[in-house]
Amino acid sequence: MPSDLLSPAHIAHALHQFRTRSPLVHCMTNDVVQTFTANVLLALGASPAMVIDPEEAAEFAAIADALLINVGTLTADRAVAMQAAIGSAINAGKPWTLDPVAVGALSLRTRFCQQNLERQPAAIRGNASEIMALAGVSRGGRGVDTTDTAAAAIPATQKLAQQSGAIVAVTGDVDYVTDGERTLAVAGGSPLMTRVVGTGCALSAVVAAFCALPGDRLINVAAACGVMKQAGEIAARNGNGPGAFEPAFLDALYTLNGEVQS
Amino acid sequence: MPSDLLSPAHIAHALHQFRTRSPLVHCMTNDVVQTFTANVLLALGASPAMVIDPEEAAEFAAIADALLINVGTLTADRAVAMQAAIGSAINAGKPWTLDPVAVGALSLRTRFCQQNLERQPAAIRGNASEIMALAGVSRGGRGVDTTDTAAAAIPATQKLAQQSGAIVAVTGDVDYVTDGERTLAVAGGSPLMTRVVGTGCALSAVVAAFCALPGDRLINVAAACGVMKQAGEIAARNGNGPGAFEPAFLDALYTLNGEVQS
Amino acid sequence: MPSDLLSPAHIAHALHQFRTRSPLVHCMTNDVVQTFTANVLLALGASPAMVIDPEEAAEFAAIADALLINVGTLTADRAVAMQAAIGSAINAGKPWTLDPVAVGALSLRTRFCQQNLERQPAAIRGNASEIMALAGVSRGGRGVDTTDTAAAAIPATQKLAQQSGAIVAVTGDVDYVTDGERTLAVAGGSPLMTRVVGTGCALSAVVAAFCALPGDRLINVAAACGVMKQAGEIAARNGNGPGAFEPAFLDALYTLNGEVQS
């Protein structure tokens, strides 16, 4: 199963659809990345909202266009609310996306992610160690960081897609996105993205939002990765460190027209 | 009840008082906007603190000069702590301000806000959909976004002020601030403010802080709106997207002298 | 017990060790400063992770190289998880650092900090009012702000170091770091650091991370203070307000080579 390179035209088309629809995205994410996640979605033209009470989360998941579940600062209480939201999203026919942050070595999140793999996630986005742990191939990385390359995780990514029925994206220097049959490669980005907290988590929110678009979900998820890679490249040109990178990244997302940037 | 335009001299006077007093502001706000809210208050010269345990929240609400209650990521536990803080603020004669984020469609926050309308809030700040939902005129907006203009919500704003005894501010392209009798209009700002998360929530914190000032509370709340509008205009001149806008906005708040800026 | 000035060579040496080792830092910190804390550690080359569930926090504290406990938004639930993490860190021989935010006037955090003083913290970092309250000399400051100078708190700092066995850092215009016998002074920084939320809390995370280094812990903790002072000076040169300061500060941390900067 070799991978094909995602075309800039696909990214441009998906981004145009995204801006036209401005999806309402219900983000249940970790404490560390809430602000950046919201700002990334706002810069791209989406409408983010974070609703976390179990009763309200179930209500809102049915109203929103897409749901993100990120387990970075999971607690038992939050797991209950997330379960309620996932159930409500499924009933309402809304796509939900899983970000299995640091899954593997930590108990609560590993149980939670494994249980919810059966609940028809539309997409899963993680780094190599997370995807390999979730596919049952390894025990996870070093904290929230990966100890493997994305390329090394391609077989685990394809296996996880086949098991779960989700589009699975493993991200790194190059991102690979698969439905278990076809695999797309997305190049670009900047090493500075690993020195700004939340770029991966925010990508998962963008993936969740792009799952609300019509058309080929494999291509839409890959386009979400491509949009973030393009913005990362533009921002790295302007900035000289992670501090200047972050505002430049948001401005790049805001002005990106989906055409070839490099 | 026509509205009058708030004068720049009123803004300058209130801002001068604010900087002299440096109010200690107890912020019980949502997860997404905590950092930005604190940085906005710090840039303006106030002293923010976020204290959320029920026992400590009650203690601190009596010590602080003002209390902000924002229901954006309300949970049952947080509602208990907020109730305790409101009670303590009332007993200590300290003003409390309500930001009814996304009230209407979501159950827990709607019940919470309606129950606390009777507890003498000093001020209420929301977008048109939130104010109309709280006044019983409509069922709320699209997630955290409004589906109505502020001008269309003026009657609901005045009704809510009369019902609650609070100064009510409905914010949008133009902000309207009323005590139920007099209504002030505050123009300015920038559309970029809707692409940075927390500008509305931070405004509510600034409104809460300005409620600690002596003098005419209607004018003080309108001045809080005016300060944020002025900073937004200055920041939009310097920045070319929401990323560059945010630091420029904080710098504008920091250097603002309250005189006419445009 | 007069204080000696920390030498730039000590800072350079500790920073070099830090970048080589890239410590994995378990941060249990307050809601307001999570993002900034993570970005500060990432800019310096460390690997931060925030894990807060009691079961997972105990697991992760044994894996990480260092643990930070910051009580800024303590709740009863979080206290349980923090206790579990501290116990696990002690068992695994990993250093833990306490940031006693606003200790003194608020009940829950005061009890929590006093109880945990007996549990062998490697380091304690606070402002003058916090250190004096924890040493039993006063009742604390104004919210999260100090009402005393760091110099006035030197005797309390030394007393607290002797009582707890920790390296204690009291920070302000000049920072003082002591093991109860030797006391080092760290000059530099910028007043703008008090207008950006989380600079003190992020320093505590950096102190926690530097406690994972081999060698003289007194000098390592003072070097952590020195690194932040140097970055603050550089950032203040570039920026004209707290908004521009923050990205400039992160960029300075990223590019700092530990040599004399002024």
Model confidence over C84-94: pLDDT tens digits?
999 999 999 99
Beta carbons within 10 angstroms of residue B257's beta carbon: 10
The number of distinct structural domains making up chain A is: 1
Contact between C252 and C198 under an 8 Å Cβ cutoff? The reply is no
Our CA-based measurement puts residue B113 at a distance from the nearest CA of chain A, in whole angstroms, of 14
A64 touches chain B (CB under 8 A): yes
The pLDDT assigned to B249 comes to 97
CB contact (8 A) between residue A109 and residue C254: no
CB contact (8 A) between residue C197 and residue B55: no
pLDDT digits over A16-31, tens only?
Answer: 999 999 999 999 999 9
Within-domain flag for A262: no
Report the Cα–Cα distance between both ends of chain A, in Å, rounded.
Answer: 28
Annotated ligand binding at C119? The verdict is: no
Rounded mean pLDDT, C233-260: 88
Nearest-angstrom CA–CA distance, A204 and A134: 16
pLDDT digits over A98-155, tens only?
Answer: 999 999 989 999 999 999 999 999 999 999 999 999 999 987 788 878 888 999 999 9
Please list every residue in chain C whose beta carbon sits closer than 8 Å to the beta carbon of residue A246.
39, 247
Residue B127, token pair as written in the block: 């977008």
Within-domain flag for B250: yes
A50 touches chain B (CB under 8 A): yes
Our CA-based measurement puts residue B60 at a distance from the nearest CA of chain C, in whole angstroms, of 7
Q: In C, residues 73-92, which contact A (CB 8 Å cutoff)?
A: 77
Q: In C, residues 138-167, which contact A (CB 8 Å cutoff)?
A: none
Annotated ligand binding at A171? The verdict is: yes
> Which domain does B115 fall in, by range?
3-255
C35 touches chain A (CB under 8 A): yes
Query: What are residue C103's DSSP bridge partners?
Result: C106
Q: Which of A30, A53, A59, A245 is the best substitution to test chain B (most B C-beta atoms within 10 A)?
A: A53
Name the closest residue on chain C to residue A77, using Cα atoms: C53
Residues C143-176: b if buried by 16+ CB within 10 A, e if exposed: bbbbebebeebbebbbbbbeebebbbbbbbebbb
Contact between A195 and A242 under an 8 Å Cβ cutoff? The reply is yes
B31 touches chain A (CB under 8 A): yes
Within-domain flag for C261: no
CB contact (8 A) between residue A34 and residue B36: no
Nearest-angstrom CA–CA distance, B56 and C74: 9
Residue C227, token pair as written in the block: 């690194």
State the chains in contact with A (3 or more Cβ–Cβ pairs under 8 Å): B, C
pLDDT above 60: residue A51: yes
CB contact (8 A) between residue B53 and residue C102: no
Q: What is the mean pLDDT of chain C?
A: 94
CB-nearest to B242 from A51, A60, A250 is: A250
Contact between A67 and A28 under an 8 Å Cβ cutoff? The reply is yes
CB-nearest to B241 from A51, A59, A250 is: A250
pLDDT digits over C54-68, tens only?
Answer: 999 999 999 999 999
Q: What stretches in chain B show pLDDT beneath 70? A: 1-2, 239, 258-262
Please list every residue in chain A whose beta carbon sits closer than 8 Å to the beta carbon of residue C247.
241, 243-244, 246-247
Nearest-angstrom CA–CA distance, C142 and C152: 16
CB contact (8 A) between residue A247 and residue C247: yes
Please list every residue in chain C whose beta carbon sits closer than 8 Å to the beta carbon of residue B48.
143-144, 197
Q: Residue type for C173, please?
A: D
> Looking at the whole model, is its pTM more than 0.80?
yes
A240 touches chain C (CB under 8 A): yes
- Total count of residues recorded for chain A: 262
CB-nearest to B244 from A39, A56, A247 is: A247
- Residues belonging to the binding site of B for ATP are 125, 171
Res. A257 pLDDT band, cuts 50 70 90: confident
Name the closest residue on chain A to residue B77, using Cα atoms: A53
Is the Cα torsion angle C7, C10, C12, C14 positive or negative in sign?
Answer: negative
- Return the closest-CA partner of residue B241 out of A224, A40, C249, C236: A40
Within-domain flag for C219: yes
Our CA-based measurement puts residue B85 at a distance from the nearest CA of chain A, in whole angstroms, of 20
The pLDDT assigned to A260 comes to 45
Q: Which has more confidence, A153 or A3?
A: A153
Residue C36, token pair as written in the block: 């900034």
Please list every residue in chain A whose beta carbon sits closer than 8 Å to the beta carbon of residue B108.
53, 55-56
Nearest-angstrom CA–CA distance, B229 and C60: 45
Please list every residue in chain C whose beta carbon sits closer than 8 Å to the beta carbon of residue B248.
243-244
pLDDT digits over A61-70, tens only?
Answer: 999 999 999 9
A60 touches chain B (CB under 8 A): yes
Please list every residue in chain B whose beta carbon sits closer than 8 Å to the beta carbon of residue C142.
24, 47
CATH of the domain at C167: 3.40.1190.20
Helix and strand tally (H, E) in chain A? 10, 9
CB contact (8 A) between residue B195 and residue A247: no
pLDDT above 60: residue A73: yes
pLDDT above 90: residue C130: yes
Tokens 């009582």 identify what position?
C163
- Return the closest-CA partner of residue B68 out of B103, B109, B28, B121: B28
- Return the closest-CA partner of residue B257 out of B41, B19, B48, B25: B19
Rounded mean pLDDT, A46-50: 97
Contact between A158 and A131 under an 8 Å Cβ cutoff? The reply is no
Within-domain flag for C142: yes
CB contact (8 A) between residue C60 and residue A35: no
pLDDT above 60: residue A261: no
Within-domain flag for C28: yes
Within-domain flag for A259: no
Within-domain flag for B154: yes
Our CA-based measurement puts residue C111 at a distance from the nearest CA of chain B, in whole angstroms, of 12
Our CA-based measurement puts residue B216 at a distance from the nearest CA of chain A, in whole angstroms, of 34
B32 touches chain C (CB under 8 A): no
A32 touches chain C (CB under 8 A): yes
Nearest-angstrom CA–CA distance, A257 and A259: 6
pLDDT above 90: residue A89: yes
Contact between C182 and C218 under an 8 Å Cβ cutoff? The reply is yes
